[in-house]
Amino acid sequence: DADVTQTPRNRITKTGKRIMLECSQTKGHDRMYWYRQDPGLGLQLIYYSFDVKDINKGEISDGYSVSRQAQAKFSLSLESAIPNQTALYFCATSDSRTDNEQFFGPGTRLTVL
């Protein structure tokens, strides 16, 4: 089984709709991240959480919110989706105790019509 899972893998929605992307991990890591990837660009950090009670905005947090429901779960919400939020979204995790490597989920492709 994958260590970092994302649901859904693909989603098409309409402008103005609320949508939630979910991320779960079985790696036991304390840190979790949400990134966005647009064509021709690298990944940009949306939000990050260093533990359940520590959530921080990244480079492009406007229009997004997050919830760290448990150490293993980190969800990303778009309260009112707009077309320029069409992108590939990645969740990642890392362990503050042992290493600096971030482990990525398989990504969610979101299309906002």
Q: Report the interface residues with another protein, using CB under 8 A.
A: 31, 33, 40-45, 48, 50, 58, 88, 90, 92, 94, 96, 100-102, 104, 106-107, 109
Closest contact distance (angstroms) between CB of 21 and another protein is: 15
Closest contact distance (angstroms) between CB of 16 and another protein is: 27
Q: Which CB atom, from 59 or from 79, has the smaller least distance to another protein? A: 59
d(CA 31, CA 48) in angstroms, rounded, equals 8
CA atoms within 13 A on the CB side of 82: 4
Q: Which CB atom, from 92 or from 112, has the smaller least distance to another protein? A: 92
Q: Which CB atom, from 15 or from 104, has the smaller least distance to another protein? A: 104
d(CA 98, CA 94) in angstroms, rounded, equals 9
Closest contact distance (angstroms) between CB of 40 and another protein is: 6
Q: Which residues of 10-37 are buried (b: 16+ CB within 10 A; e: fewer)?
A: ebebeeeeebebbbbbeeebbbbbbbbe
Q: Which CB atom, from 24 or from 102, has the smaller least distance to another protein? A: 102
Cα–Cα–Cα angle for 43, 48, 54, nearest 5°? 175
Closest contact distance (angstroms) between CB of 113 and another protein is: 21
